[in-house]
Amino acid sequence: MITKSKKIIDKIAFGLLSPEKIRKMSATRIITPDTYDEDGFPIEMGLMDPRLGVIEPGLRCKTCGQKVKECPGHFGHIELAMPVIHVGFAKTIYNVLKATCRGCGKLLLPEEEIIKLREDYKKVVKRGNSTAAFAKEVIKKTSKVTKCPYCGREVLPVELDKPTTYREGGRKLTPAEVREWLEKVSDALGDDLRLLDINPEVAHPEWMVLTVLPVPPVTTRPSITLETGERSEDDLTHKLVDIIRINQRLQENRDAGAPQLIVEDLWELLQYHVTTYFDNQTSGIPPARHRSGRALKTLAQRLKGKEGRFRSNLSGKRVNFSARTVISPDPNISINEVGIPIAIAKELTVPIKVTPYNIEEMKELVKRGPEPEPLEGTIYLPGVNYVIRPDGRRIRVTSENAETVAERLEVGSIIERQLDDGDIVLFNRQPSLHRMSMMAHKAKILPYKTFRLNLAVCPPYNADFDGDEMNLHVLQSEEARAEAEILMKVQEHILSPRFGGAIIGAIHDHITGCFLLTYGNKVFSKEEALYILSATGYTGKIKEKMTGKEIFSKILPEDLNLEYKAKLCNSTEEECRKNDAYVVIKNGKLLEGAIDEASIGAFKGKIIEYIMRKDGSKAARKFIDKVTKLGIASITLIGFTTGIDDEDIPEEAQMQIKGVLENAKKKIQDLIRAYREGELEQIPGRSLEETLEMEIMRVTGKARDQTGEIASRHLGLDNSAVIMARSGARGSMLNLSQMAGAVGQQAVRGERIHRGYHGRTLPHFKKGDLGAEAKGFVSSSYKSGLTPTEYFFHSMGGREGLVDTAVRTSRSGYMQRRLINALENVRLEEDGSVRETTGKVVQFHYGEDGIDPTKSIRGKAVDPELILKEVTNE
């Protein structure tokens, strides 16, 4: 149960601990570097002193008398033999030293200027502007002063030798001298310290030089006992041991009157240890290492970065009621559903409050226990894992005690019921780059061990099934469930705010299937039509003979009117009408055109978009569910296969391709000859070499296109690979022409391949050869196979692509992080303006036009053409 805090935080103030404060809050002074004695008991006044708190269960704290979880731990302290600089404040100390006089500690500015600055400071505070920026200006002003206006002492330049050494006029200052100086500043400046952005109420400059070091409680640095019984100490403890050891030696040497040199060496060593204790990644000094060579994780490392306290434990939290497993496809469930393995459903629970109205029902539920026997003909029955009684006690329900717990169930208890069909859950795939990466689904408990999801929701999650894993969260409150259902359900995210079009839609085989069904005027028998339509749950009449278009029309809403170019279309409207590439839907009947990616595909699907806008999310969801099933039924019935022989082209075509390539190579030779003889005409703004390269790239590009064109002339819509490419299901015509025709020019950094040996790319070529083959032109096709040199060049180009993606993802990830951190407190207000949390206006009218991109039509507020058509048709 959550225990309520007795104290309420009103405000937090940041300041420095004074040496007195450190001593006062200390439970004990630490003098020995040893932790435990031979018997395994902590040594008094050692780093594991029992007064610093308890870490062993059963024991009581010697300071506060509380038990393990109650005692927060207590600080100790180390008296440093000599003062040392605190690295975290090295810069601040430097600024104070620069701005003040060493002789009298006063600010290096004349009286009247200081009076003015005091007034200015008040203004800055009143305006809420940055006092840090103000202090910077003050320090800048003092840098021009060469003589102290008060005591007349000459101002020597102060330098900071990073990380912690200060010099005045070239002479090294010891931390003790620095501290002395800062003490003077503290006394002389008083309230004027505010001008240097230091609040004298909570921080004195001399406290930035440590004389006493606080020792954090043992609870902050617990030691672990290994299986062998050996104790392993925390990194912080190790560091503190180092500090105490050196501190002791320093003290002994100093007291014994050792030579100045030795004392100074030890002093510097102490400075090193204290510095690394705070931050083990301070630039300019080697990080302190463990015996194994691993760098120690000290205070700054605990907080900093992705794995640090802030990003990993405060901004991010681990949660209960969640699950993660591999995903796999299930075309039979709705896009709104997610298949959950029985094993996971038995672990995840939903809390239900027991009321006078449901108590009998709940008793029955509890009686089932945690492992109920499924009913006849079902595979799963939810049980109950826990009962939380009104007093907050949590009782684990077992098969043994289920009966008694059920009988004793009272109103006000909460039972934790196992997941059941229809429960609302959140489903998520990382990286969560947009809001569709986390959507609400309805649970459907299924056998086996993977999460099942409908293929149409792969695009928003960017998921595939090559081993992807996804996370699932069970909502624990009624409000959360209601909110998720209204705002986060999959069907509410069919349209993407990214481009105002459908992001959920048919993919791959769905598109091929619908295309095969609707292209041309295929006629299906009654049995065939029945097979296809029954998959969609159609219950209406079926004619003796049906065309594919008629079958498809059965899943369209009856009042649908649309006209657009299909994906298949690659020319004018008139041309496309002839080729069945112009879609006409009238009153829910598909009259003309084949259904392909442009109609139902994710990212492009016009019909989905239109239904979503017109009839809402429920209708759109139903349509997607039906169209995917229709597509699969069609492709199953018609049959579909592809293989490398899809790229077989007749011999004459191969000869033609060969001719084109020969021709291109000859053209390149001609260009090179022209270049050598100085006849090449230079393109303005380019050197002669660049001109040649550009011309050659143009020729090679053209050659590849031509080969592709020849190949595609012999590959028609009776070819499976072409069907996939033209309907937008998978692959492109470019992919096909690379398989059948020629792969084409390989490029690195947008240029022909030119790196490698002196004057040539590979030892296979002559030096200075500028020809096609020597510079990475692949005239073979993937099908015929590449020559060794071609293969090498192809690998070069391929590698560049891989490197690019790797670099791009990490860079864009970092950019997104910064963007989100910057934009997290900007929001849209009810009046349509965009504001910061402070109330400052960012935009007066969201995006100038106030349009929600999700509800826009591909970014536009209205589609005038569509309206025109709707009006004139009717």
Which stretch in 88-96, 494-502, 814-822, 834-842 sits in contact with other proteins by CB under 8 A? Answer: 834-842
Give whichever of 530 and 834 is closer to other proteins, judged by the CB atom. Answer: 834
379 binds other proteins (CB under 8 A): no
69 binds other proteins (CB under 8 A): no
Site string for other proteins, 382-401 (x = CB under 8 A): --------------------
143 binds other proteins (CB under 8 A): no
Give whichever of 312 and 833 is closer to other proteins, judged by the CB atom. Answer: 833
Rounded Cα distance between 200 and 248, Å, is 33
144 binds other proteins (CB under 8 A): no
Range list of β-strands (E), 475-570: 523-525, 545-547, 562-565
861 binds other proteins (CB under 8 A): yes
Which stretch in 445-453, 573-581, 787-795, 829-837 sits in contact with other proteins by CB under 8 A? Answer: 829-837
Shortest spacing between CB 133 and other proteins, in angstroms: 6
Alpha helix locations (H) across 213-293? 235-255, 260-278
Which stretch in 121-129, 535-543, 553-561, 602-610 sits in contact with other proteins by CB under 8 A? Answer: 121-129
Residues 6+ apart with CB under 8 A from 719: 646
Give whichever of 685 and 839 is closer to other proteins, judged by the CB atom. Answer: 839
Which CA distances in Å does 684 have to 681, 688, 695?
9, 10, 13
Give whichever of 701 and 847 is closer to other proteins, judged by the CB atom. Answer: 847
Query: Among 137, 403, 689, 870, which residue sits at the site for other proteins (rule: CB under 8 A)?
Result: 137
Query: Among 66, 129, 315, 873, which residue sits at the site for other proteins (rule: CB under 8 A)?
Result: 129
- What is the total count of residues that contact other proteins (CB under 8 A)? 26
DSSP 49-98: -GGG---STT---TTT---TTT-----EEEEEEEEEE-GGGHHHHHHHHH
Report residue 660 CA to chain centroid gap: 48
258 binds other proteins (CB under 8 A): no
What are the backbone angles phi and psi of residue 572, rounded to the nearest 5°? -75, 165
Torsion over CA: 571, 575, 581, 582 (sign): positive
Helix (H, G, I), strand (E, B) or coil at 234: coil
Judge contact between 486 and 440, C-beta under 8 A. no
115 binds other proteins (CB under 8 A): no
Which stretch in 116-124, 147-155, 377-385, 669-677 sits in contact with other proteins by CB under 8 A? Answer: 116-124
Using alpha carbons, select from 540, 587, 535, 536 the residue that is nearest to residue 561: 587
Structure tokens at 411: 């109103």
Helix (H, G, I), strand (E, B) or coil at 597: helix
Query: Among 840, 871, 872, 874, which residue sits at the site for other proteins (rule: CB under 8 A)?
Result: 840
Which CA distances in Å does 371 have to 352, 361, 399, 668, 824?
18, 18, 7, 76, 45
Using alpha carbons, select from 218, 217, 273 the residue that is nearest to residue 249: 273
868 binds other proteins (CB under 8 A): no
Query: Among 77, 100, 102, 121, which residue sits at the site for other proteins (rule: CB under 8 A)?
Result: 121
Query: Among 750, 839, 872, 874, which residue sits at the site for other proteins (rule: CB under 8 A)?
Result: 839
DSSP H or E segment with residue 812: helix 788-823
Shortest spacing between CB 198 and other proteins, in angstroms: 17
827 binds other proteins (CB under 8 A): no
Query: Among 558, 677, 824, 831, which residue sits at the site for other proteins (rule: CB under 8 A)?
Result: 831
Q: How many angstroms separate the first and last alpha carbons of the chain?
A: 65
112 binds other proteins (CB under 8 A): no
Give whichever of 67 and 118 is closer to other proteins, judged by the CB atom. Answer: 118
118 binds other proteins (CB under 8 A): no
DSSP letter at 488 equals I
843 binds other proteins (CB under 8 A): yes
862 binds other proteins (CB under 8 A): no
849 binds other proteins (CB under 8 A): yes
290 binds other proteins (CB under 8 A): no
145 by Cβ neighbours in 10 Å (0-12 / 13-18 / 19+) ranks as middle
Which CA distances in Å does 269 have to 80, 84, 264, 654?
13, 10, 9, 78
Which stretch in 12-20, 118-126, 465-473, 746-754 sits in contact with other proteins by CB under 8 A? Answer: 118-126
Which stretch in 508-516, 556-564, 754-762, 845-853 sits in contact with other proteins by CB under 8 A? Answer: 845-853
680 binds other proteins (CB under 8 A): no
Rounded Cα distance between 857 and 613, Å, is 9
Rounded Cα distance between 293 and 320, Å, is 37
In three-state form (DSSP H/G/I as H, E/B as E, the rest C), the secondary structure along 128-161 is: CCCHHHHHHHHHHHHCCCCECCCCCCECCCEEEE
789 binds other proteins (CB under 8 A): no
767 binds other proteins (CB under 8 A): no
120 binds other proteins (CB under 8 A): yes
Q: Which amino acid is it at 340?
A: I
Which stretch in 117-125, 196-204, 216-224, 766-774 sits in contact with other proteins by CB under 8 A? Answer: 117-125
Q: How many CB atoms lie within 10 A of CB 622?
A: 20
Rounded Cα distance between 387 and 393, Å, is 8
Rounded Cα distance between 176 and 166, Å, is 11
Query: Among 190, 616, 850, 864, which residue sits at the site for other proteins (rule: CB under 8 A)?
Result: 850
Which stretch in 26-34, 77-85, 128-136, 317-325 sits in contact with other proteins by CB under 8 A? Answer: 128-136
135 binds other proteins (CB under 8 A): no
Shortest spacing between CB 829 and other proteins, in angstroms: 9
Query: Among 45, 59, 133, 807, which residue sits at the site for other proteins (rule: CB under 8 A)?
Result: 133
Residues 6+ apart with CB under 8 A from 540: 554
Structure tokens at 608: 């989905």
Q: Which residues bind other proteins (CB under 8 A)?
A: 120-121, 123-124, 129, 133-134, 137, 831, 833, 835, 838-845, 847-851, 860-861
